[in-house]
Amino acid sequence: MQSDVPVFSRGTFEAPFGVLTVVGSDLGIRYVMFDNDAHPKPLERLHISDSEIHDSVNDAITQLDEYFNGARRDFELPLDLQGTEFQVAAWNALADIPYGRTASYGQQAASIGRPKAVRAIGGANGRNPVAIVLPCHRIVGADGSLTGFGGGIVVKKWLLDHEQSILHSATGNRA
């Protein structure tokens, strides 16, 4: 008899700035987390098996490697997003921000039809469960300043600079 409770697995990826932990199940990726995430994820609520790694986790690790090597700009992974309707809409809107570009919290709020929900967007982004895959690092203040990020501002800047350097090298320009 099968249980309705998904069994999760986890894997790690050594990013240039530290370890990322990927957690997923047959339903998709639930978390991509920084070691010192500002909003720790509730892993204790999940049934995590250490006996094997789900294909979704392996696929996410492969795609993260491609992203960091400059071979991938968009992720193609099944996601298992758990949050309020507003949070999920905010997180999904992140996928629409082009690689190497930024948008403001206000632009993100407007993109989901909630232009006055700027603070709520910031709160949702702070709890983005799949960092980098859904690129909350591309959200900046209205004045272009780097603000809040679960992995820290230094990592946010690194990710934005990384994407810019890949774009510049692809077009033959040097940063």
CB 139 within 8 A of CB 104: yes
Given 90, 124, 136, 140, the catalytic residue: 136
The pair of structure tokens assigned to 70 is 């400059």
Please name the helix (run of DSSP H) or strand (run of DSSP E) that holds residue 123, with its range, or none. helix 118-126
Q: Does 115 participate in catalysis according to the annotation?
A: no
How far apart, in whole angstroms, are the C-alpha atoms of residue 156 and residue 129? Answer: 16
Rounded CA separation 5/105 (Å): 35
**Catalytic (active-site) positions:** 136
